[in-house]
């Protein structure tokens, strides 16, 4: 990877509030995060629960913080009680998390389903953050890279069956599932190696040279205290933040460190 390729990629910090906040509390938290994270060069996204999308959108009017959904259904419409389609999200969100490890675990989402969700996002102009990552037993068995490669290849293959390709504005989030909420932490160098694998796999799966500029985020219990190790790696372009994103001061620290990376990349382009 060249320094120029790294320099032209966006630096992104995405807050995933998961099943937290209510419409009454979400707006104030969004405003606090927006106020404390005004850092040049960093793309900021907040993904609240569905019920808080409108409140967060209203709170962020006039700012450059984007609103994202945490999930989307794979079908356009139909008899799917309790589900939300991409068309329903159009006026509420411009980003969407797809295939988060918790949905893969709890709702048994597989790569084919993830692919169809990517397709719906692309059809409705919603920018997807596709999550991939390995379980602890897969890493301990030496199959971490194989697992992530298979997830990406299976997703691309399913898109091909629908005569579709990966969305051009794709963002990938690498989630070492064993490091989420367990107290265990991944290392920056391991996440960087996985980021290289992700781009190499995307290149071989049809993106070609375009894969070099796909942003790859790290998402494994990120905090303001740990983010520096990951953003010090040129292959990592930001973070998908879980629990820490519910604290405005934590988000301020994470985005501030992301701003250092963004400034360094801007300087590299200008030099």
Q: What are the catalytic residues?
A: 100, 175
Tokens standing for residue 1:
């990877």
Burial 105-142 (b: 16+ CB within 10 A, else e): eeeebebebbbbbbbbbbebebbbbbbbbbbeebbeee
DSSP letters, 76-102, are SSSS-TT---HHHHTTT-SEEEES-HH
Spatial contact of 175 and 101, defined as CB atoms under 8 Å apart: yes
CA–CA gap between residue 13 and residue 242 (Å, rounded):
11
CA 222/CA 228 separation, integer angstroms:
10
Give the integer Cα–Cα distance in Å for 5 and 113. 31
Helix (H) or strand (E) holding 12: strand 11-16
Residue of 192, 185, 175, 187 whose CA lies nearest to 134: 175
DSSP string across 97-122: EES-HHHHHHS---HHHHHHHHHHHH
**φ and ψ at residue 256, rounded to 5 degrees:** -60, -45
């Amino acid at each position: 990877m060249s320094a120029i390729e790294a320099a032209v990629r966006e630096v992104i910090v995405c807050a995933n509030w998961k099943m937290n906040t209510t419409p009454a509390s979400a707006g104030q938290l969004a405003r606090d995060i927006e106020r404390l994270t005004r850092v040049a060069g960093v793309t900021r996204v907040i993904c609240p629960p569905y019920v808080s999308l409108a409140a967060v959108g209203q709170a962020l009017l006039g700012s450059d913080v984007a609103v994202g959904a945490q999930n989307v259904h794979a079908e356009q419409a139909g008899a799917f009680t309790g589900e939300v389609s991409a068309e329903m999200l159009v006026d509420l969100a411009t980003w969407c998390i797809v295939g988060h490890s918790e949905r893969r675990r709890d709702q048994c989402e597989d790569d084919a389903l993830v692919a169809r969700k990517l397709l719906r996002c692309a059809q409705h102009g919603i920018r997807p953050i596709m999550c991939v990552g390995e379980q602890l037993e897969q890493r301990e068995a030496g199959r971490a890279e194989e697992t992530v490669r298979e997830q990406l290849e299976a997703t691309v293959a399913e898109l091909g069956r629908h005569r579709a390709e990966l969305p051009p504005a794709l963002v990938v989030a690498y989630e070492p599932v064993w490091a989420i909420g367990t107290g265990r932490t991944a290392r920056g160098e391991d996440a960087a190696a996985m980021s290289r694998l992700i781009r190499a796999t995307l290149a071989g799966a049809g993106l070609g040279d375009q894969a070099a500029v796909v942003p790859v985020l790290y998402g494994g219990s990120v905090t303001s205290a740990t983010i520096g190790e990951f953003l010090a790696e040129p292959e990592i372009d930001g973070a998908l933040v879980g629990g820490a994103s519910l604290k405005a001061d934590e988000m301020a620290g994470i985005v501030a460190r992301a701003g250092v990376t963004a400034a360094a990349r801007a300087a590299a382009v200008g030099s």
